[in-house]
A and B are shown apart, each in its own frame.
Chain A
Amino acid sequence: MPNVSLTFNSALKDLVLSSFANATRAIALVAGLAFSATFVASTPAMADDLENAKAFVDNLASNAISILASDNTPEVRESEFRTLFIDNLDMRRIGLFTLGQYARTPTPEQKTEYLELVKEFIVKIYSGRLTEFSNETVKVLRASPKGKKGTQFLVRSQINFTTGREPVSVVWWLLKDGDSFKVFDVQVVGIWMAQEQRAAFASVISKNNGDFNALLSDLKRQIGEAPTDTQAAAN
């Protein structure tokens, strides 16, 4: 007797579960159709943007790789990176973002000086940090829009090393800039570079009781100290 009721119970449960699953599937199907309908309606321009975003990253990455692969002197290399970074990064937005909570504290003069220093800081720091990736190929995987305005995009890519090192995942956060794009931030193995700098910048100011000049002098020191010889820095 208990066996029978057990079988009945489980049969009932199966029935309930399967009809529930069917209903879910039907809802998902309808939702999917509705979604693809709206998506198709607004796609042509978007699809172009996504392809262009991928091409932009592909082009930028191969430019960086050819700079790293060349036999040029470190000075020449840094000046090549300077041009590449200034042309392709949204330096102003990066600079404002990395100020974080302190964006409203500097005077207009301090702000102008800061934005100039940040530009220099980024060129110095990242042309140095990039030397680590000298044996690489970049494979652009896919692009997706970020937000609803159609002005921001995330492009996923993977760096493969010729040395057999494990591949590194890199995500590019792009902002549409006229017909082209500018890089706002880059995520390497899960770490967004601008967010890291923002944390450090905020810490310098708060350690110095809100004195904005402390950040300016630390940036100056760092720019002066970071050797132009990126190769020597890597060794």
Chain B
Amino acid sequence: MANVTNSRTKSLWVTLGVTLTLLAGCATKPDPADPAAIAAYEEANDPIEPLNRYFFELNRFADIVALRPVAEIYDGILPAFAKDSLRNVLDNLRSPVILANDMLQGEWDRAEVTATRFGINSTIGVLGLMDPASGRGYARHGEDFGQTLGTWGVAEGSYFYLPILGPAPPRDLAGFTVDLAFDPLTYIWWDHTEYSVARFMVSGVDLRARNLTTIDEIERTSIDYYAAVRSLYRQSRKAEIANGHIDEDDLPNIDDLE
């Protein structure tokens, strides 16, 4: 019996492996005689695009059948204060990770803001349910190790899109893993992975619920939704790494547009 299951699992893995290899292998290299195509290919920096698109469609399907409906119900049923409280708790739980990355980036003022927020919101804010710190001049901000690597000059790498996780180019995927190690809850909940999974899922629903119309509108109005999301992801990461500062030299040169 064990043997049967084993070989079944094995053949499943083989099938999956073959499928993925085929999909990845299908990546169409640009026509070497067409300079525009080559330049566009390099600009996209998405060498396994067919596989990425496959996972993208998979996630889109999961969004349609599960995430979006749940987020809609969540958004419709819960009163605003309950949604805000949940978001505050989730944010507060992330403080240690944000603090570690503030410090690794040498952003001492922001580290102080994060530490103070955690102190105020965990006590006066009743275990993070409320966010009195924002009203006291300590506004919320996010950080993660992918951004820290970015400030250290690590390039993002080729685009990579994963099931469930979404856009995860090498730098940000590495960052995601390191952030797990920074998070005290990883160790506190070591024997209760289900808590961490639940937290991940609730965060996802909260994020989706806060962007119901925005995401729908982008999907509806994009002539290539996948490519639009790729650009949105890269641009917003760049802005997050720069903490909102715009590097003029980084903006495209438009002197030749006539």
Contacts and interface: CB of A to CB of B under 8 A. Distances in A.
B217 interface: yes
A207 B257 contact: no
A196 B235 contact: yes
B213 A132 contact: yes
A73 interface: no
Interface string B29-44: 0110010110111011
A73 B96 CA distance: 50
B37 A206 contact: yes
B36 A102 contact: yes
Nearest to B30: A206
B224 A104 contact: no
A93 B257 contact: yes
Contacts of B214: 132
B178 interface: no
| Chain A interface main SS type | helix
A204 to B, nearest CB: 5
B143 to A, nearest CB: 15
B180 to A, nearest CB: 25
A234 interface: yes
A202 interface: yes
Interface in B65-103: none
B239 A190 contact: yes
B233 to A, nearest CB: 10
Interface string A173-206: 1000000000010010111100111111111111
B126 interface: no
B4 interface: no
| Chain B interface main SS type | helix
B161 to A, nearest CB: 14
B221 A222 contact: yes
Nearest to B235: A191
B36 A104 contact: yes
B231 A199 contact: yes
Nearest to A93: B257
B192 interface: no
A190 B221 contact: no
Interface in A197-235: 197-207, 209-210, 215, 218-219, 221-222, 226, 233-234
Given A190-B238, A191-B235, A203-B44, A196 B228 contact: yes
Interface stretch (B115-123, B144-152, B167-175, B243-251): B243-251
9 contacts: A100-B43, A101-B40, A189-B236, A190-B236, A190-B244, A200-B223, A203-B44, A206-B37, A207-B224
Interface of B: 30-31, 34, 36-37, 39-41, 43-44, 213-214, 217-218, 220-224, 226-228, 230-232, 235-236, 238-240, 244, 246, 248, 251-252, 254-255, 257-258
The 8 closest A-B pairs by CB, nearest first: A190-B239, A203-B227, A199-B231, A101-B39, A101-B40, A200-B224, A203-B224, A125-B221
Interface of A: 93, 96-97, 100-102, 104-105, 124-125, 128-129, 132, 146-147, 152, 154, 169, 171, 173, 184, 187, 189-192, 195-207, 209-210, 215, 218-219, 221-222, 226, 233-234
